[in-house]
Every structure is written in C-alpha cells, then in structure tokens.
Amino acid sequence: MRVSFGTDGVRGVANREVTPELALALGRASVRVLGVDRIHVGRDTRVSGPALAAAVIAGVCAEGADAIDLGVVPTPAVAYATRAGSAGVVISASHNPFDDNGLKVFAPGGRKLTDLEQNQMEEVLAGLLDGSAQLGPTGAAMGIQLNPDGELDAYVTSVLAALEGRHLSGLKVVVDSANGANSSIGPSVLTKAGAQVVALHDSPDGTNINAGCGSTHPESLCQAVVDQQADVGIAFDGDADRLLAVDELGNLVDGDQLLALFAVDLRDRGLLTADTVVVTVMSNLGFRQAMAAKGVQVVDTAVGDRHVLEAMTSGGFSLGGEQSGHIIARHQSTTGDGLLSALMLLDLRSRAGRAMSDLASSAMNRLPQVLVNVVTPSRIPDVAERLKSDTALMEDEMAGEGRILLRPSGTEPVIRVMVEAPTEDQARSVAERLADKVRALPG
C-alpha cells in the first residue's frame, strides 16, 4: 500500500482513508525517519481523535521512542513542544468536517518535513503497511507513554510574550473557537491577557467542529460582534493554526488585511526583517499596492504555507502568510498560529486606539477578486504558457489596474482562473472570457 504524504501529511475520511492501522504505522515511521527518541502527540476535538492518537502513540512506543500525549491542543502548541529536539504528530483535519481526520508530522524544531523526509516517510509507510518492514525493538528497548510536563503552560507563555508586557484591558472580544482545538485555551489566554471575552462555539462534542462556525463560517460571529457591541471578533479554525477577524461593524477582516496591518506595525517597530513580507500569489492586488505605497517589499510564493515558510527561511524574513488567515510570525513561532495572531492583532488595536474598521480600511483597498474553477478532461500543467498571449491581452485591457492568475490544481483536473479588477463586473467578465479559452483547449 502506497500512502501519499503531502505537506500537511495525510487527510481523509476517518476509519476509511485515515485508519488506526495507518496511524500506528505513521507513529513508527516518524521515529524511523526522523531518528528521535521522543514524539509529542496532539489532536483536535473530532470523535475519531482519541482512537487515532492512541494508535500513533502505540506506534511511537513500538519503535523504542517515548510518546507524550498532549491531548486536545492547538496545532502550533505541538510545533512549539518540539523546540528541544523532539518531533510532533498532530491528529487533525483542520477546517474539514468532523468525519474527516488527518495526520501531520513536525520535525524537530517545529519545522515541516523536507521533500526528502516526505519521500522517506512514504517509503517507510509502504513497508510497514504491507508487512515487509523489519520489526521494532522488544523488551526494555520499547518506549513508554508519558504525560505532559508543562508543555502547554510553556506554549501559553510564549504566545503571551507577543504583548511585551502590555495588556488588553478595555477591549471586548467575541471569540469563535469553531468547537475545535482552541475551545478552552483561546478564550482563557485572551482573558488572561486582560480582554473581556465572549466565548462562542466553544463546546465541542466530537461532531460539531467547524459546523457552521469558525473561520470557514464566520456569519454567526459577525452578528455576535454587533449584538455584543464588541470591539473585535476572532474566528479560529478547527486546529487553531489560522484566524480571521471581524470589525466592530460586523465586517470580515481577512488574512491579507491582517498581514497588511502587521507588516506596517512591525516595520514601524523595527521588527520586520528587510522591510519584507512573504505571501502567496493568491494575495489580493490591493495588498501589493498598499505595501508598495508604504515601502514594504513583497515576496510571492506558490500557494501553500509550506512555500511561504520556505521563502521566509531562505530569506530570513520575519512575517508571511496567506489570505486564508495562516499567518507566520517567525520571531515568535515556526508555524501559523491563530492564537498568536489574535494577540498580535488585539495588541495592535489597543496601542492604536482606533476602531478595527478604521484600521482595516486604512490598511489596504481590497480589489474585487473573482475565481472560476474550470473542470477539464485531463490535467493541463502548462495552461499558463498555452494561454500566455490571451492573458497578456486581457491584462492590457485593465491598464495595470488588474491582475490575472491562471494555475492548475495540484490534486485534480481543474484550472483555477483568478482575476482582480477595479470592479467586480470587470473581474467577472475577464474571468469568464479566460475560462472559455481554457475550455476550448484541446485535451
């Protein structure tokens, strides 16, 4: 059996694609490939989580390493726990429905796996799952399961350090935890920081994670912020590695706007390395225009937080992220962290003394963005090159005030046509015309 181990591990329907047998093998493979003697294991609130976590822990111990069961914790808390040289495994499917689950591995130091390590994981998993791999140690050479020893407290201390001793007194915040991994930690930490917190969707039952709530469904949060007359709303996703915000008027503040705010704030405080922020090609053109106007350089990467991290590491940059709300502050964390981002945002709001709506609107002018997904008979990896002249003509029509992105999906025969323009009508018109060009391509 061959398992495809991508940048976020393996994800699928629990007990079908993501089985206890796979989890057991992944625990064993993580020890073999990474060569560690200790692995931290954390999960979100899905009903399948305990069974999969138990299997991962069994696999780790069967390979002679010790397993620390962190229980229900945010994904970045597991990454933080690996800072002293252990590895980490997270059982979560992030923003997916509750019946899905996934297995993600952090290498020592909280980093994502390299391409070589991913390939090695796939090879070792294949051998373990088909029974051809060598057996593990026996007797006293086997590992044991350990209880946490202050790891979560250390993580909380690390994110609170973003406040640099300041507090959030005077701010009223509605926090939507998506019935996920931040359901207890998120509201507790923000309260400890001094904010008045109204908790929303913080009662997980194993099946309600992401169900009509959280960063993928912020409608109830938007209404609650207005009803509660709150200053800010915060929406986490299921595993709490990203967030979106809501201003006091009930308007959504997306990842591009948050990054624009953070970039200028960190730059002004001398904390933005090389006055540069790293984003993916999907970030709004309005973000790029705002950064250019404010003297902040922008580095583009392919879609995916792994690519953002790679560019940040190679360039030594301190801030990067995605429109979806994955934000990485490398001076504080090795991975996207919704709780850290929330503290950064609320601290900025407190120091500025301005309404969230005012801050968000002044950060950037978000251009209308239209995305059309074109299903094709087969994959067309060179679609951008084949339609290069058509794309250039349509960009000329927008006279430098718009942007076109044409890219194939990495997982299915779909071409994504994204267009930004000064008006939604113009963006939609260009997108549909270019989509027709895609559909007319020979198979």
Q: Tell me the catalytic residues.
A: 94
Q: How many Cα atoms are found within 13 Å in the side-chain-facing hemisphere of 67?
A: 28
Q: How many Cα atoms are found within 13 Å in the side-chain-facing hemisphere of 169?
A: 3
Q: Report how far residue 9's alpha carbon sits from residue 19's, in angstroms, rounded to the nearest whole number.
A: 14
User: Can you read off the two tokens belonging to residue 9?
Assistant: 């591990």
User: Can you read off the two tokens belonging to residue 271?
Assistant: 């904390």
User: Can you read off the two tokens belonging to residue 90?
Assistant: 């997270």
**Residue 271: closest CA among 312, 330, 328, 322:** 330
Contact 417, 438 (CB under 8 A): yes
Q: In what order do the strands lie in the sheet with 297-301?
A: 297-301, 276-280, 319-321, 327-329
Q: Report how far residue 259's alpha carbon sits from residue 283's, in angstroms, rounded to the nearest whole number.
A: 10
Which residue has 């008006």 as its token pair? Answer: 423
Q: How far is CA 279 from CA 28, 146, 243, 260, 268, in A?
A: 35, 39, 16, 11, 19
